[in-house]
Amino acid sequence: MEIHTPNWVKHAIFYQIFPDRFARGKPKRADAFDPKIPLEAWDAPPTLQGYKGGNLWGVIDKLDYLRDLGISAIYFTPIFQSASNHRYHTHDYYQVDPILGGNEALTELLAAAHQRNIKVVLDGVFNHASRGFFYFNDILENGPYSPWLDWFKIEGWPLSAYDGDRPANYVGWVGNRALPEFNHDNRDVREYIMQIAEYWLKFGIDGWRLDVPFEVKTPGFWQEFRDRVKAVNPDAYIVGEVWTDSRQWLDGTQFDGVMNYLFTGPTIAFVAGDRVDPELVEGQDYYPYPPIDAADYALKMQHLLALYPWEIQLTQLNLLESHDTTRLLSVVGEDRTSSELAHLLLMTFPGAPSIYYGSEVGLAGKRDPDCRRVFPPESLWDANTLHKFRQLIALRHRHPALRTGDYKVLYAEGSTYIFVRICAQEEIIVAINSGEDASRVTLELGQFESQPRRVAYGSANVSWTTEGEATILNLTLPGRSGCVIEQ
């Protein structure tokens, strides 16, 4: 079967935004609804339940910043009406949360983003809803007389939606009674979700990130979802939150990609080594600990690149951190070199890189809710980190090979990892030395028609020699450094 994925994703740089924490802004029309509600102080540490009041108007105000950074797509965590700051407890799938600015703000955002050639992907929470979701709330009010009983997984009576000392008597996601699970075997539930997906695509969004899609067991559900989505917009992106081997969803009939945590863990383990704080990653479904060397990293990357068809590899959503993890800078003990090397590998790996908001200016953060800190004011930005992000993003945009070129490991020994990205137009070499001491490597590269000579990023000494028909690369990398060599 021929697999088709959205071409724009292969060339995209994503930026993940947790809307409550990114930016506060004002409506663009004087008569727009602008609720005056009590909010947590913007510069105070975030709490699990408090609202900071970030909104879509604030995102609009920062679109020029994102465009200038080189961002071409935004992934938003949920924006629909909800009684939680993270909005995974959906009340109404057809209304953007009023704190975020309502549907009007999304209309304005889509127009402003698309004007700047920035795509917008929304978070689809379709495994579960919330206690405040109308259909479930009707059950709480009317008990066994509710017409919506079969929309959820009711197990007995009476329901206990709030009293933890009594059985909930219905299925909630991972046992959480605040998140009643849909009964996806119900035809009306399936149709309701399909129509939500279609509605917002027609509204103008560019794709869906699917929350815990592996929890939906109904046969054919995600195949139908893809068919319905692609019928509205063949270029819409469908990306699932699956942390493990995702072959069962990446066969070309369901998702275009997944959040590629199989890249995340090994990359951090290689570049950071024993700088990783195990307590900050304990219990997570990605594994940046224990440390691994270059040979192990090569094996893991080659295994990962063999798992899925190449067309899927190019539309994976690659990341180093998210709202569900400790921020990378905190994971590595605020060692900025580890973060830089990890992002160098992120920006040069097949698939679309995703930056978690604030990472480009040096934002740290430990476990939830600390990993969801507010985007800092410019006075607190790390200018050197931002400069390096700009360089790496520009490199990826400049070179087709870094986006769609083949990936071949050239060298992987000790702390040194070297690979090449090759396409018809060019060859780009990327080298990483995660160790403390300088690394000197001599490689015979007879297959190269031309030799990348210019160090476009980082610091390294590069020379090429010939011995008979062989082409020899001589490379010296300082300790704890990486480089990109272009033609």
pLDDT tens track for 260-274: 999 999 999 999 999
Q: Which two tokens stand for residue 144?
A: 């066994």
Residue 304: predicted pLDDT: 98
Q: What is the pTM of this model?
A: 0.97
Nearest to 79 by CA among 109, 100, 52: 100
Q: Can you name the residues that pair with 356 across neighbouring β-strands?
A: 16
Mean pLDDT, the chain, rounded, equals: 96
> Averaged over 133-141, what is the pLDDT?
98
- Give the pLDDT confidence of 68-92 residue by residue, as tens digits: 999 999 999 999 999 999 999 999 9
Give the model's pLDDT for residue 336: 98
> What CATH superfamily classification does 7-127+182-398 receive?
Glycosidases (3.20.20.80)
275-281 own/partner pairs: CB under 8 Å, 24+ apart: 275/332, 275/333, 275/335, 275/338, 276/331, 276/332, 276/333, 277/330, 277/331, 277/332, 277/333, 280/326, 280/330, 280/331, 280/366, 280/367, 281/325, 281/326, 281/331
Catalytic entry in 241, 293, 335, 486 = 241
Yes or no: say if 321 and 328 are a contact pair by the CB < 8 Å rule. Answer: yes
Q: What are phi and psi of 137, to 5 degrees?
A: -60, -35
| Integer Cα distance of 213 and 317 in angstroms | 15
Confidence class for position 453, pLDDT limits 50, 70, 90:
confident
Is the pLDDT confidence value at 450 over 70?
no
Catalytic residue among 108, 123, 211, 340: 211
Percent of the chain with pLDDT strictly greater than 70 = 99
Residue 58 CA to residue 99 CA, distance in Å, equals: 12
**Averaged pLDDT for residues 353-377:** 98
Place of tokens 């020699």: 465
Q: Based on DSSP, count helices (H) and strands (E) in the chain, helices before strands.
A: 15, 18
In this prediction, residue 32 carries a pLDDT of 73
Active site annotation includes 155? no
The whole-angstrom separation of Cα 55 and Cα 74 is 14
Give CA–CA dist 102/285, Å, rounded. Answer: 34
- List the chain domain ranges: 7-127+182-398, 406-486
What are the pLDDT digits (tens) for 225-257? 999 999 999 999 999 999 999 999 999 999 999
Nearest partner of 19 among 70, 80, 95, judged by Cα: 80
Q: Is 165 a catalytic residue?
A: no
Q: What is the pLDDT of residue 29?
A: 77
Q: Name the pairing type of β-strands 317-319 and 352-356.
A: parallel
Q: Which CATH number does 406-486 carry?
A: 2.60.40.1180
Average pLDDT of the segment spanning 379-405: 98
Q: What is the pLDDT of residue 449?
A: 62
Contact 336, 329 (CB under 8 A): yes
First to last CA, the chain: 37
Residue 468 has pLDDT above 90, yes or no: no
Alpha-carbon gap, residue 237 to 421, rounded angstroms: 24
Kindly tell me the burial class for residue 316, based on how many C-beta atoms sit within 10 Å of its own C-beta (0-12, 13-18, 19 or more). Answer: buried
